[in-house]
Amino acid sequence: MDQKSFYDLLSRYESGDCTEAEKLWVDQWYHNLNSRNFKDLPSMALEEMQRNAWQHINTIERRPATTLKIKWLWPKVVIAASIVVAFFIAGLYLVNYNHAEQSFLDENVDLNLISKTNESNQNVVIALSDKSTVALKPKATIIYPKVFAANKRTVYLKGDAFFSVSKNPKKPFLVYNQKLVVRVLGTSFLVKSATDNLPAQVAVRTGKVHVEENQKSSLFDFSKKKLAEPILLTPNQKGVFSEHHLNKTLVSNPIPLAEAYNIPSSLSYNFKEESVQEIFKTLSEAYGIEIKSDNEQISTYTFTGDLSKKGLYEQLDLICGTLSSKYSIQGTRIVVSKN
């Protein structure tokens, strides 16, 4: 809703010409405006509203008028200034208001919801009714039903948490936060909420995760923005949300799939005159990540060394160091090239 439409709605509300739905919206807007704690607004925002209000007042006062008219106009000037300030406050409130949490509460109003916040400095593990567990990071909050609904499992997260979800194909597990909706059937993954410095992220350890933008993050669609394209994540991949885009890349510390799924592995990382091409195949199989070279000469080299008990990126550093090469992360794959 743009400013002109907003003014038109208020005018029709005052004259009694708006619909019942519009009247209900305006009543709710006034209620939110009256209950808003404006002390939370930044000082710069308040100063900007004050400047605009006084600019509006000065414009009215500069109009030619007699002393009698100025006195008569003064109450209206005060009212106009109040309206200008109210519009700025309401605009800031509506733009910054996130509807995701309230929407979650409304959709689960029939369930007995529990809200828990981790006030400690360590992870707190919460057991859910379906035997799934949530490792809640410090200062994070989770809202979840005491008993999940019959057809789905939904929770709302503020902050960061690691989920280990029990398998149940008939009841999908959905994690909502301010920006994203994560849909899984049975897997383990990390969800990080957006902060002032970092975007919202989802990192997968096991299984597959479907990630999409939360359509209910805003009360209104001011800019008619296009929602981000959903993505599917597999182990050692993460999705990063920014400016209505979801990008796929690799996690900062990939874990071998055997370790993630807690299963035995026969792969050996102790190489003796092994071709680099075969080493890349071994590492790709171990981590579920495509590793390739864009230079045919590199594939003909051999490498000798024990890469056990080292992370993937450290393993690649040692290999590339002996080959005078380098690697780069391109999306969800790793490409090795000559320096």
Token couple for 311: 């992370």
pTM of the model: 0.69
Rounded to an integer, the average pLDDT of 103-108 is: 91
Token couple for 10: 């208020």
Rounded to an integer, the average pLDDT of 26-47 is: 52
Residues 297/301/307/313 CA torsion (nearest 10 deg): -10
Tally Cβ neighbours within 10 Å of residue 99.
16
pLDDT at residue 121, as a whole number: 95
pLDDT at residue 47, as a whole number: 53
**Under CATH, to which class is 257-338 assigned?**
alpha beta
Rounded to an integer, the average pLDDT of 212-236 is: 78
Mean pLDDT lowest for which of 77-91, 206-220, 247-261, 298-312?
Answer: 77-91
pLDDT at residue 227, as a whole number: 85
Collapsed DSSP state (helix, strand, coil) of residue 31: helix
Amino acid at 226: K
User: Quick one: pLDDT band at residue 238, thresholds 50, 70, 90?
Assistant: very high
Q: Give me the long-range contacts of 303-308 (CB less than 8 A, separation at least 24).
A: 303/271, 303/273, 303/274, 303/276, 303/279, 304/271, 304/272, 304/273, 304/274, 305/270, 305/271, 306/269, 306/270, 306/271, 307/269, 307/270, 307/271, 308/268, 308/269, 308/270
Collect all residues with Cβ–Cβ distance below 8 Å to 20 and sequence separation of at least 6. Answer: none
Token couple for 256: 């071998």
pLDDT at 165 over 90: yes
pLDDT at residue 169, as a whole number: 86
Token couple for 79: 């009212």
**Residues 210 and 190 sit within 8 Å (Cβ to Cβ):** no
Topology (CATH) of 100-250: Jelly Rolls (2.60.120)
pLDDT at residue 226, as a whole number: 76
Q: Rg of the chain's alpha carbons, rounded to an integer?
A: 28
Query: What is the average pLDDT value for the chain, to the nearest integer?
Result: 82
User: Quick one: pLDDT band at residue 68, thresholds 50, 70, 90?
Assistant: very low
Better-predicted residue by pLDDT, 212 or 16: 212
pLDDT at 125 over 80: yes
What percent of the chain has a predicted confidence (pLDDT) above 90? 57
User: Quick one: pLDDT band at residue 85, thresholds 50, 70, 90?
Assistant: low
Domain ranges of the chain: 3-96, 100-250, 257-338
What is the number of H-type helices and E-type strands within the chain?
A: 9, 19
Instruction: List pLDDT tens digits, range 257-309.
Output: 999 999 999 999 999 999 999 999 999 999 999 999 998 889 889 999 999 99
User: Quick one: pLDDT band at residue 20, thresholds 50, 70, 90?
Assistant: low
pLDDT at 209 over 80: yes
